[in-house]
Each structure stands twice: as structure tokens, then as C-alpha cells.
Amino acid sequence: MQNMTFIKHPRLYFLIDGIGAFFSFSVLMFLVAPFESFFGMPKESVYILGSIALSLAIYSLSCSAINMTRWKIFLRIIAILNTIYVFVSLSFMIKHWEHLRMFGYLYFISEKIVVLSLAGLEWKLSGKEKD
């Protein structure tokens, strides 16, 4: 029954995704990048991830502001983009694995779990029969 609320208001998906992406951007830019020695991820990589997160936030928040009839395709697009973000971030983690610190591992792994869970839900909902 809870999914019915979301189906009636699909703009909520985009709003939640956009807020989450903006939160990731903020954490990356204002916490992880300035404290590189604490997290272990080089600033250059953090800036790339932050830029991607901001782009995803703009996309999702824009979709949440528009009253669209064919929202499923846009939800599927953000699910794909979120999955790509996870793989890009994982590639940075692998590249810098030896330099990551405990808090770097914790942040990046937990972020991947959250983003992949959200992308999976978005993918599932974008494939539902009824709009």
C-alpha cells in the first residue's frame, strides 16, 4: 500500500533522489574533500564524484518540479545514472584502496549501499504497468 502513495505522486521519487544526491554532493565537497587525510580519497577524485552527484541532484530535482505524464522513462534514466555513479565511485575506491582510511571505507561503502538500493527501487517502479 505504501508504494501506491508513490505511484500517485511519482514526483516524490525524484525529490527523494535529488535531496539524496545533493546530500552526497555536500558531504563530498564540504567534509570528505577538506579532510582528505581523514578519509583517504584524493581531492581530485572527490571533486569528480561531487560534480557527478550535483549533476544528478539537478536532474532529479528538475524532474520533481515538472508535472510529467511519462515519468517512468525519467525514473529509469536516473536509476541507470545512479548505477553508473556507483561504478565510477567503486573504480575510485579500487584505485585508491591502499590510501583509504577507515572512515573513507565506511562512507563510500555505505553510500554505495544506499544509492544501489535507491536505484533498484527506481528501476522496479519504472517498470510497473500502471502510471
Check: CB of residue 13 under 8 Å from CB of residue 125: yes
> pTM (2 decimals)?
0.89
Q: What angle do CA 52, 55, 58 make, to 5 degrees?
A: 150
Q: Round to whole Å and give the CA distance between 20 and 118.
A: 10
Residue 67, pLDDT score: 78
**Confidence band for 128, pLDDT divided at 50, 70 and 90:** low
Q: What is the pLDDT of residues 3-59, one digit of tens each?
A: 545 556 778 999 999 999 999 999 999 999 999 999 999 999 999 999 999 999 999
Residue 111 corresponds to which cell in the numbers above? Answer: 553510500
Q: What angle do CA 52, 55, 59 make, to 5 degrees?
A: 140
